Amino acid sequence: MAFDIAFWLLAIVSVVAALAVVTLRNIFRAALSLVLCFITVAGLYVTLSADFLAAVQILVYVGAISILLILGIMLTRDVQLGSPTNKLRFPAFLAAIVFFGTVAWAVLNTTWGISPQGPLEPTTATLAGKLFGENGYILTVEIAAVLLLAAILGAIVLVREK
């Protein structure tokens, strides 16, 4: 029961944060709303007993992508101006409504099979062992981290005032 309430609260906050990303005119606040959306998605993974996915969501999206996005916004000039108005706002809204209607129709008209029992053994240890265990992919993860650091430093050097 508690997981159901937590799931629905996190789902509502996630949808509100995603709508804030799209509707806010201040790009920095929109990026912070995106961080909130990523965190609530990780919370949704926890309520669904997908601990490894929650950890990856926090590490990759909140820890890397969001920080990189916010750093890029902070290094951009005239960030306070926001995004200019767009002439295609109404057609985009109409396309979003049609897309939402199609997805809602598909979800409501699909028979969803529900397993009578959960997984017999946790999958987190198996996935973590494959990634970080012996003959795992830890070197690849470390190389990706170094490449992201190099990209951030390169962006700082390019944007720096002379």
Does residue 86 lie in a domain region? no
Does residue 116 lie in a domain region? no
Does residue 7 lie in a domain region? yes
The count of structural domains within the chain is 1
* Contact between residue 98 and residue 29 where contact means Cβ atoms under 8 Å apart: no
Instruction: Look at residue 38 in the predicted model and tell me its pLDDT.
Output: 92
Give the CATH number of the domain where residue 48 resides.
1.20.120.1200
Instruction: Look at residue 138 in the predicted model and tell me its pLDDT.
Output: 75
* Contact between residue 75 and residue 159 where contact means Cβ atoms under 8 Å apart: yes
The predicted-structure confidence for 109-145, as pLDDT tens digits, reads as follows 999 888 787 767 776 777 777 777 777 777 787 788 7
Q: Distance (Å, rounded) from C-alpha 162 to C-alpha 152?
A: 18
Does residue 88 lie in a domain region? no
Position 145: which residue type? A
Does residue 103 lie in a domain region? no
Does residue 138 lie in a domain region? yes
Does residue 112 lie in a domain region? no
Does residue 75 lie in a domain region? yes
Position 19: which residue type? L
Q: Distance (Å, rounded) from C-alpha 49 to C-alpha 51?
A: 6
Instruction: Look at residue 82 in the predicted model and tell me its pLDDT.
Output: 54
Computed over its alpha carbons, how large is the radius of gyration of the chain? Answer: 20
- Domain with 26, as residue range(s), is 2-81+122-159
